[in-house]
Chains A and B, each alone.
Chain A
Amino acid sequence: MAHPRFAYAPAPESRAVVRLRPSYGLFIGGEFVDPLDGGGFKTLSPATEEVLAEVAAAGPRDVDRAVRAAEEAAGPWAALAGSERAKYVFRIARLIQERARELAVLEVLDNGKPIRETRDVDIPLAAAHFFYYAGWADKLEYAGLGPAPRPIGVVGQVIPWNFPLLMAAWKLAPALAAGNTCVLKPAETTPLSALLLAEILQQAELPPGVVNIVTGAGDTGAALVAHPGVRKVAFTGSTAVGKEIQRRLAGTGKRLTLELGGKAANIVFEDAPLSQAVEGIVNGIFFNQGEVCCAGSRLLVQEPIADALVDALKRRLGTLRLGDPLDKNTDIGAINSPAQLEKIRDLAASGEQEGAQRWEAPCALPAQGWWFPPTVFTGVSPVQRIAREEIFGPVLSVLTFRTPEEAVQKANNTTYGLSAGVWTEKGSRILWMANRLRAGVVWANTFNRFDPTSPFGGYRESGFGREGGRHGLEAYLEP
C-alpha cells in the first residue's frame, strides 16, 4: 500500500462455485435431520457480515441421538477389514480433492481467511490427511501398539474455527482409519465446511452413523464430551476450555487428547539470513491473521541485529495486502468474529498501556467486516500481557536477547509449549536450541509447516497427545 507500484488489480475467485443452502440440519446417522431441541443460529461472513446460512444448534437430546448413531455403527465399522475401511477413507480424500475449489471458497466465506491459504494450505492438507491415514487402516499392527490394536469405540471431537476443514480432517482421518466412529462438533462460527464434508461423506457412501456432525456452541460441545457413550474425547481449542474438559473427564476413564493454545518464540540469531528470517517471521505470525495456535507470536531477536531486523520487517509488512479474502492477491483476511476482534483489540491496548511501542502496517481497513491490521510491538518486556497471553491475532511482540542461554530461558518462560522457531546458519546451534526448547514442534530456518506424516502437539499447557504421523494413531487405539 505504501508503494503505488504494488497496487494490484482485483483478482477475486468466483463464489458461484458454492451453493449455500438457506439452512442446515444436523448430520446424524448419515442424514441431515432437524434438531429435536429446536434451536438454530446464523453463521456470518467475517469479511462482509452477511448472513451465510442458518445452522441447527444441537441440544442434549440431539447429541444423545448422534452418540447413539455412532454406537450403532461402531461394531460393524470396527469389524470391517482394514483394507475395506481404507477404501472409504481414500474415497473421502479423493472427493475433497475433486471439490477442492468449492471447499476453498466456502472456507473463505465462513472463516474470513484468504483464498490463497484455503486453496494452497487448508484444503490440500485436509485431503492429504485423509489420504495418509487411509493407508494406515490395514497396517495398524505396524503402528507400534502391539500385534492387534483395537479401536476405542465412539469418539467425541470438538474443533476450532481457525482451520475448520483441516481440523475436521486431523480428527476424523486417524479415528476412522483406526476403526472408531465419530461425533464431530465444529466451531460455532465456522460450521459450513464440516457440513459440506458431510455431503462428501454421503457421496463416499460412508456407512450411516460412522461420522455424525453436531453443530452448536460451547454447550453442545460440553454435552458431547460429557456423554457416557463417548469413550474418547479429542479437543482442539483454548487452554481454558481444555482444562475444563480435563476436569469434566476426571474419574470417568475416558481417554483424552488436547491441542490447546500457544505463545511460540521465534528466535532469530545475529547470523541468520535476514531476508529469509523476515519471511519466516511474517509467515509465523501473519499467516491466517495470526489465528494459529502455533503462531510465532513472540519474536526473540539477538540484540546486534534487532533494529535492522525490525526495520526490514516493517518494510515487508508495508507490502502485505489486507482486504477481500476471495481476492487471490490478498495476504491478510478478516478476523473470524467480533468477539475475537475484541479480544485482539483488548490485548493490543494492554500492550500500549504497559509501555510497549505499537506499530501498525499502513493499510486501509474495509468498512464492512471485522479487521485488524498487522501490528508489531517493540520494547516488550516478558511480564507484559502481550508477551504472556495468547492473542490469536496478527500481533507480534518483539523481545531481544544476548546469549543463546538467554534465548532459551525467555523462550521457555511461558506456561505453553506448542511450537518454536530458530533462525541461524549454524547447524550445531540449531540442534542445541532444539534440544532445550520446551515445545512440541521446532521449526528451524522455517516456520508454520504442516504435514500429515509429522506429529503435532504441545508440551505443558499446550496440551497432550499428538496429531499426525504414526503418533496420531495412538489416541485412537487400545494396545
Chain B
Amino acid sequence: MAKTAKLYIAGAFPRSESGRSYVVNAANGRLLANVAAASRKDVREAVVAARAAQARWAAATAYNRGQVLYRIAEMLEDRAPTFTAAVADAEGCDDADARARVGATIDRLVWYAGWADKIAQIVGGANPVAGPFFNFSLPEPTGVVGVLAPQNSSLLGLVSVVAPVITTGNAAVVVASEARPLPAVAFAEVLATADLPGGVVNILTGRTAELAPVLAAHRDVEALDCAGAGPELSATLEEAAADNVKRVLAAPGEEEEWSASPSVQRMLAFVETKTVWHPLGI
C-alpha cells in the first residue's frame, strides 16, 4: 500500500487535522496513493501561515524573489523524471507529452522569475501631474490569495496560477487538483527544499467544493483565483468573496490551454496600485 501524502502548510508537512485521507487513482484507474483530505480547519491554518509569511516575502527584494523562483525551476528540472512520471500517471498522457508539460512548467517558472524585478517598471512609473509634485505609482502585492488550481492540468496549470501570485510578493493558499493531486504534492516537496520561505505557498489536497468556500468567505484572504472551480462553484464563491471585497478571477467556461504563452494579466489581477505624492520645493 502506498504511503499517505500530507498537506504542505507553513513549510511543514502535516497530516490533515481531521485525520481524513482519500484514494487517488491514475488516469487509467490504477491505485496511486492515499492523500490527505484537508478540512476547513486546515484551510484556516494555511491562511494563518500565509498571513504570517506574506509581509516578509513582499519585503524581500524583487531580485531575491526572482532568484527564489528561478531556484524552484532548477529544482523542478533536477527532478524532471519524477514529475514526468507523475504527470503521465495523473493526466493519462504518454511520456513525450508528459515531458513536454514538465518542460513547459520549468519554462513558466523561469518566465515569472524574470518578471519579479520588471513588473513594476512596466505597470508603474511617474505621473506628470499638473502641479509642483513628484508623483509615482507602483504595483504592490494584494496580500493572501486563495488559489483553486486547475483540475485537469495537474502541474503546468498549477504552476501557471501559483507563480504569478507569488512573483509579485503575495502568499498563496492553494487547493490542488482534486482528482490529480500528486504532481502538486511533489511540487510542495520542491518548494520545501528551494529557498521559498515557509508559508508563502501552502498546498492543500482534498475536495475543492468543500475547501474553496472557506477561502472565499475568509476575512483574512484578500483575493481568490477560481481557475479550478468551474463556473457553477465560481459563482457562489464570487458572491461570498464580496463580504470583504476580494479581488476575484472568475472561473472560465472551460479550463485554459496552459501551454499557450502567458500574459502579465494573472500578475496584474493580484496587485494593487499605490500612488505616492510629494511636493517639489527647496
Contact = CB atoms under 8 A, between A and B. Distances in A.
Interface of A: 128, 144, 146, 239, 242-244, 246-247, 249-251, 253, 258, 260, 415, 430, 434, 439-446, 449, 451, 453-457, 459-464, 466, 469, 471, 474, 479
Chain B contact-residue range equals 35 or more
Contacts, number: 109
A417 to B, nearest CB: 8
B131 A449 contact: yes
B235 A454 contact: no
B247 A464 contact: yes
Q: Which 10 A-B pairs have the closest CB atoms?
A: A251-B235, A250-B238, A246-B242, A250-B239, A451-B129, A247-B242, A453-B127, A444-B278, A461-B245, A454-B127
Contacts of B131: 449, 451
Contacts of A456: 275
B276 A442 contact: yes
B209 to A, nearest CB: 15
Interface in B98-114: none
Contact of A242 (B234, B245, B268, B279): B245
A314 to B, nearest CB: 25
21 contacts: A144-B123, A239-B245, A247-B239, A251-B234, A251-B239, A434-B276, A440-B273, A441-B275, A441-B277, A442-B274, A442-B276, A444-B276, A445-B278, A446-B278, A449-B133, A453-B135, A455-B273, A459-B274, A466-B273, A469-B127, A471-B123
B244 interface: yes
A443 B238 contact: no
A239 to B, nearest CB: 7
Contacts of B4: none
A233 to B, nearest CB: 13
B273 A457 contact: yes
Contacts of B244: 415, 460-461
B250 to A, nearest CB: 7
A247 B239 CA distance: 5
B275 A442 contact: yes
A442 B129 contact: no
B135 A440 contact: no
A430 B278 contact: yes
A308 to B, nearest CB: 23
The residue in B123, B234, B238, B247 that gathers the most chain A C-beta atoms within 10 A of its C-beta is B238
A454 B239 contact: no
A461 B244 CA distance: 6
Nearest to A456: B275
A250 B231 contact: no
B58 to A, nearest CB: 9
Task: Say what secondary structure dominates the interface of chain B.
Answer: mixed
A442 B135 CA distance: 10
Interface string B240-282: 0111110100100000000000010100100011111111000
Given A251-B234, A258-B245, A454 B272 contact: no
A468 B63 CA distance: 30
Contacts of B34: none
B130 interface: yes
A393 B281 CA distance: 32
B164 to A, nearest CB: 15
A474 B275 CA distance: 16
A387 B23 CA distance: 52
Contacts of B236: 250-251
Nearest to A146: B263
Contacts of A128: 130
B222 interface: yes
Contact of A440 (B128, B133, B272): B272
A275 to B, nearest CB: 14
Contacts of B268: 474
The residue in A430, A455, A474 that gathers the most chain B C-beta atoms within 10 A of its C-beta is A455
A471 B242 contact: no
A463 B247 CA distance: 9
Contacts of B130: 128, 451, 453
Contacts of A242: 245
B127 A446 contact: no
B96 interface: no
Contact of B277 (A249, A260, A444, A466): A444
A239 B243 CA distance: 10
A156 to B, nearest CB: 17
A303 B274 CA distance: 28
Nearest to B231: A251
Contacts of A442: 274-277
Given A243-B242, A455-B137, A446 B273 contact: no
A469 B136 CA distance: 11
Given A243-B243, A449-B129, A250 B275 contact: no
Contacts of B247: 464
Given A451-B135, A464-B247, A479-B263, A446 B242 contact: no
Given A446-B278, A471-B137, 5 more contacts: A251-B236, A440-B273, A443-B277, A445-B278, A479-B265
A56 to B, nearest CB: 31
A121 to B, nearest CB: 12
Given A440-B275, A444-B278, A445-B279, A454 B245 contact: no
B127 A455 contact: yes
Contacts of A258: 245
A446 B277 contact: yes
B34 to A, nearest CB: 34
Contact of B133 (A146, A260, A446): A446
B120 to A, nearest CB: 13
Contact of A250 (B222, B242, B265): B242
B122 interface: yes
Contacts of A443: 277
Contacts of A441: 274-277
A446 B279 contact: yes
A226 B80 CA distance: 49
Interface string B115-128: 00000001100011
Contacts of A434: 274, 276
Contacts of A444: 276-278
B41 to A, nearest CB: 24
B276 A455 contact: no
